[in-house]
Amino acid sequence: MEKIRIVGGRPLEGTVRISGAKNASLPELCAALLTDQQLTLGNVPEVRDIRTMGRVLAALGAEVEFRVGGEVELRAGSLTSVEAPYELVKTMRASVLVLGPLVAREGRARVSLPGGCAIGARPIDLHLMALEKMGATIAVEHGYVEARAERLRGAEISFDTVTVTGTENVMMAACLADGQTVLRNAACEPEVEDLATLLGAMGARIEGAGTSTLRVEGVERLAGASHRVIPDRIETGTYVAACAIAGGEIEIRHCQPNHLRAVIDKLRETGVRIEEGPDNLRVRAPRVLRPANVTTQPYPGFPTDMQAQYMALMTQAEGASTMTETIFENRFMHVAELARMGASVRENGRTAIVTGPTPLSGAQVMATDLRASASLVLAGLAASGETVVDRIYHLDRGYYRIDEKLRGLGADIERLA
């Protein structure tokens, strides 16, 4: 199994280029199922989850071609299957994003239930509730969800909890439904908005993207389109935090600072100097890092996908800070590993209390999920001596060549086979 070895203590300098957003690309690849014409996506990050989604779509009969430079061409002329099998769904929960498009286009879908994952139970009940309201018959048996509908019809749907992939699934289904669908308490994440932009280019009629109320007027058919994926805001935030913890000054290019407001504001509060350009950031680490509390929230709040990296940073702040996780019930898996490197973190239910600064010392640590792995890499940059992060396939699911990008910024980091 591949590992990453880091020797800490080197400040970062130079320029890093941000890749396209994984969590925008995943639903956008699935949007190809809504039309028999060609969809071309640009700026798709070449990470493992994207390849997995390519396999899911190919298993349904879509033609998927990855070109160098992040371009993907997809054509779902006619589908040969409506089933997303367990073997693929278990490796990536986002496979459930084929559900809405398949029911809308084919009138039928069979998708393996994703089950729990490292960060919590993560049910899909809200996706199913919404499709049922749109007239689908849902059966759950043998570990699969089976949904059927002659033609979905528009409905008024109100989500109890903000759900990102739930909003995306239902928004895609509503594009081909009969009549108007209104989604309330919809996710406002930039990835949802970007998907709506793509669907709009395909001929969908969607209003309110980026707000909590979405109105979708169903159409008979959608056409092909070309679309460039937005930059990855979580990858961007991770490099801001990397510079803050390692020291130094870096430039982050090809990013979208507007999508990162909560993270930029919070890091400025801790003393990190951040200058914003239209599509770039200049980050300078402070001499003294101040503690600041965060509570994770749906967008535009502080993202749960940045909580672990922020915690690594707070181990170096002058004083105590709290991280309160409100989105997932079990997202402190990185605490035990950070503690093995010398961090002082106490867990109290959904809050972690970090007392800093504690010197970190390099250790062998294990990645448990995507963002937890990133937090261990950040800790390794600040630690004395050598840190070896095991199970980095988690990192490769969502970060394009993080070892190369950090090495480009002067970090002493290498991948061990």
Interacting residue ranges for ligand UD1, rule: CB under 6 A? 23, 26, 93-94, 120, 122-127, 161, 163-166, 191, 304-305, 327-328
Q: Is 67 left (phi over 0), alpha (psi -120 to 50) or beta?
A: beta
Catalytic-residue membership of 188: no
Q: Which is nearer to ligand UD1, 240 or 308 (CB)?
A: 308
Q: Which is nearer to ligand UD1, 125 or 269 (CB)?
A: 125
Beta strands in 266-328 (DSSP E): 273-276, 280-284, 294-295, 319-324
φ, ψ dihedrals at 223, nearest 5°: -110, 175
Q: Which is nearer to ligand UD1, 295 or 358 (CB)?
A: 295
Rounded distance between C-alpha atoms, residue 189 and residue 260, angstroms? 11
Burial class (CB in 10 A: 0-12, 13-18, 19+), 68: exposed
Q: Which is nearer to ligand UD1, 122 or 290 (CB)?
A: 122
Nearest approach in angstroms of CB 124 to ligand UD1 is 4
Token pair 């092909």 is found at 224
Nearest approach in angstroms of CB 321 to ligand UD1 is 21
- Tell me the two tokens of residue 323: 């991280």
Q: Which is nearer to ligand UD1, 116 or 385 (CB)?
A: 116
- Report yes or no: 343 and 358 within 8 Å, Cβ to Cβ: yes
- Report yes or no: 164 and 138 within 8 Å, Cβ to Cβ: no
Nearest approach in angstroms of CB 387 to ligand UD1 is 25
Rounded distance between C-alpha atoms, residue 380 and residue 245, angstroms? 10
Q: Name the catalytic one among 117, 175, 243, 255.
A: 117
Nearest approach in angstroms of CB 94 to ligand UD1 is 4
Nearest approach in angstroms of CB 30 to ligand UD1 is 11
Strand arrangement, sheet containing 156-158: 156-158, 180-184, 213-217, 205-207
Could you give the residue numbers annotated as active site?
Answer: 117
